[in-house]
Structure 1
């Protein structure tokens, strides 16, 4: 006997955790049952992240039905172990990501956009799915995936350099993100070529094809303002265990909103002696302080403090090697969903590149002081040192102070194409 027949005389259905009046439950369940399981999907590395890429046409039209599918794909929630062994997730935020990619709308195409995508940060120990921000690393592979799947063609092809550009629209931030990458010609036509040994990037072994990632007009991605408070620097007053503290911070919203604090100020409120400048970012007390700072910064930015994925918080410091200024302009330790990131989330790196070009921010103060002792190799780029190595980012500003674009070089790799169970 089918489940629907068995329940036909019931007023309420209680199946697979649903407790809804029968008719709405039947419609929702039928809709989900019409979606393939396993679901066509592609597993890709973009920068220092890996994620599942899915064509929008393979998902339900009703977006409220996406959450259950995405949690199943990633193996979340996993409250006891946090390893996501029942899914494709890897137990860390940089491996618990999904991109949904589809054709651009007629209006978007009229504006020169080729493809549209939505980024989803999937909770690990909980069932939280965050649609509020974007992922800079996985954004670098949107154009490649779109061309591979025939969702769009490249908007520009340079035959001299054998490179193509794809213009994408991110629905999370309502911003355009362009990618440029090498191409080759096969019997299938023009295809992205990711196997060239062009560049290396920190955190990824070997060399791969260069992907130039450009965020167009990235200011105000979430709040609508590059400086949500209107100031390059603010004093955040917060409490930990009932005791009040204050710390200077720069609240900047470019590509993704980020709270920047200086390591010297953090050491002061933590009571870390100057002769021991290393901060243990895995220490529970340190994490409690940083989360309290992040909550207050979120409030001042007009964002929800309870949302773990946005805004991010990052600690900035001078780059010193044996007492001398290093080849980098600034060092960063960034946290993602309460955990120290092993590299730097690319949207945070790009936000830092923008912040360094804004007079009065903590980032510009540190970069300016460091460059006072050395000549910059490329004044238009900021070299960032993070736990995984170095990365160069750049930002172009309009004459009125708005951000024209932010750029960074990434690499990517196709890992698997097939189907995923949810």
Structure 2
């Protein structure tokens, strides 16, 4: 069988991992691109046994990088969420954890030069238009991966990667509150539909008969909850102006509860058809904004810090994540977000070539059509 080699880096970014490609090494045509990414990951099998995916949505993610076409950015980051057990690719969302690896990968690829002991990389998220500044440790002219920063969900420690998220309000739906309401009632459940870094539908755990402290495995086993949640998520997507989201991973869904380990609030995050083992970087910003906005479903649940910037520690199944939110409350009681920042870690795991079968390159085997997203 003839196969085509495609150069790639394989990185862990935050609590996700996947291949990072140069955009120029992949086809521009969306159908051809989807065939290749499905083959690379091995989508369509629960173990991704014929590809480099890991059998979980946090390990079937792809980053594609290029020099930015924008004057205010160094790198364009185009993201693809490949399905685990279906031959599908979703280009609508972005991924904040994979974003953590974009700065290091861009430097490794030669897309951005090292500029000292720390290198600032301004990243444009192609899928949503968001602008993010990454601060990468580069002593001696090389990316540093070892360090003393620990993040929940990843063993050991590594070098810090600072992320400052700019212009993240309404990047997908055009408004902080896409429905125009602080709360909507869907199928008898109060939901806040919010778009900060990631469009989300957010509810209280107790309204589903949950504590909000369940493990990811316990929630994944509760298929009645998932069935009801998906019905609400699909309707929320329609109300948010996102159309039919049946086969899209956005909007994501989150449930909130009172903190019990000293954090600002407790959260569980869904990807959306299974439970995130920890918490997404983008989702954490939206959940933090929801907790800080008066009148949302989070009202009265949180132990919120005073002043701004606010350090929001959000509890999740594997520990917690800290988000620094620079915000203000308007005279009318509304919420305005100026920026959000996090410190995460990344590690280069492998570099080389991934082999793509001829059938995927030529389209002799055509998978199910991928959802339509924004063009690269």
- Counterpart of 1:53 in 2: which secondary structure? strand
Deviation at 1:417, TM superposition (A): 0.2
Matched, 1:386 2:316: yes
- Counterpart of 2:253 in 1: which secondary structure? strand
Aligned length: 348
Q: 1:163 to 1:342 in 2, by over 3 A?
A: same
Deviation at 1:307, TM superposition (A): 3.0
Deviation at 1:210, TM superposition (A): 1.0
Q: Is the 8 A contact 1:354 1:406 kept in 2?
A: no
Q: Is the 8 A contact 1:90 1:96 kept in 2?
A: yes
- For 1:398 and 1:176, the matched residues in 2 are separated by 20
Deviation at 1:377, TM superposition (A): 11
Deviation at 1:397, TM superposition (A): 2.6
Matched, 1:417 2:340: no
Matched, 1:396 2:356: no
Larger-Rg structure: 1
Deviation at 1:151, TM superposition (A): 1.1
Deviation at 1:213, TM superposition (A): 1.3
Q: 1:5 aligns to what?
A: none
- Counterpart of 1:54 in 2: which secondary structure? strand
Deviation at 1:60, TM superposition (A): 2.1
Matched, 1:196 2:147: yes
Q: 1:89 aligns to what?
A: 53
- Counterpart of 1:365 in 2: which secondary structure? coil
- Counterpart of 1:65 in 2: which secondary structure? helix
Deviation by residue 1:126-184 (Cα, 9 ceiling, x = unmatched): 12110001100010111111111111235xx5x5xx32210011110011111112111
- Counterpart of 1:340 in 2: which secondary structure? coil
Of 329-338 and 277-286, more deviation after overlay is shown by: 277-286
Q: Is the 8 A contact 1:93 1:337 kept in 2?
A: no
Q: How does 1:122-141 map to 2 (within 5 A)?
A: 122-141=82-101
Of 305-314 and 355-364, more deviation after overlay is shown by: 355-364
Q: How does 1:190-229 map to 2 (within 5 A)?
A: 190-197=141-148, 199-229=149-179
Deviation at 1:380, TM superposition (A): 0.9
- For 2:190 and 2:85, the matched residues in 1 are separated by 32
Task: Point out where structure 1 has 5 or more consecutive residues left out of the alignment.
Answer: 1-15, 17-32, 239-245, 321-325
Deviation at 1:233, TM superposition (A): 1.6
Match of 1:150 among 90, 110, 124: 110
Q: How does 1:306-321 map to 2 (within 5 A)?
A: 306-320=246-260
- For 2:121 and 2:47, the matched residues in 1 are separated by 35
Q: 1:362 aligns to what?
A: 297
Deviation by residue 1:186-212 (Cα, 9 ceiling, x = unmatched): xxxx22212122x11001111111111
Matched, 1:351 2:290: no
Q: 1:305 aligns to what?
A: 245
Q: How does 1:111-122 map to 2 (within 5 A)?
A: 112-122=72-82
- For 1:277 and 1:113, the matched residues in 2 are separated by 39
Deviation by residue 1:198-257 (Cα, 9 ceiling, x = unmatched): x11001111111111121110112111111012222211x3xxxxxxx111111101110
- Counterpart of 1:208 in 2: which secondary structure? coil
Q: Is the 8 A contact 1:216 1:405 kept in 2?
A: yes
Q: 1:250 aligns to what?
A: 192
Task: Point out where structure 2 has 5 or more consecutive residues left out of the alignment.
Answer: 357-376
- For 1:379 and 1:184, the matched residues in 2 are separated by 29
Q: Is the 8 A contact 1:254 1:351 kept in 2?
A: yes
Q: 1:168 aligns to what?
A: 123
- For 1:340 and 1:258, the matched residues in 2 are separated by 14
Match of 2:270 among 322, 332, 335: 335
Matched, 1:288 2:248: no
- For 1:61 and 1:122, the matched residues in 2 are separated by 17
Q: 1:277 to 1:346 in 2, by over 3 A?
A: closer
- For 1:184 and 1:333, the matched residues in 2 are separated by 37
Q: Is the 8 A contact 1:116 1:168 kept in 2?
A: yes
RMSD: 2.3
Deviation at 1:71, TM superposition (A): 0.5
Deviation at 1:364, TM superposition (A): 4.3
- For 1:61 and 1:277, the matched residues in 2 are separated by 43
- For 2:263 and 2:139, the matched residues in 1 are separated by 35
Deviation at 1:317, TM superposition (A): 0.3
Q: TM-score, normalised by structure 2?
A: 0.87
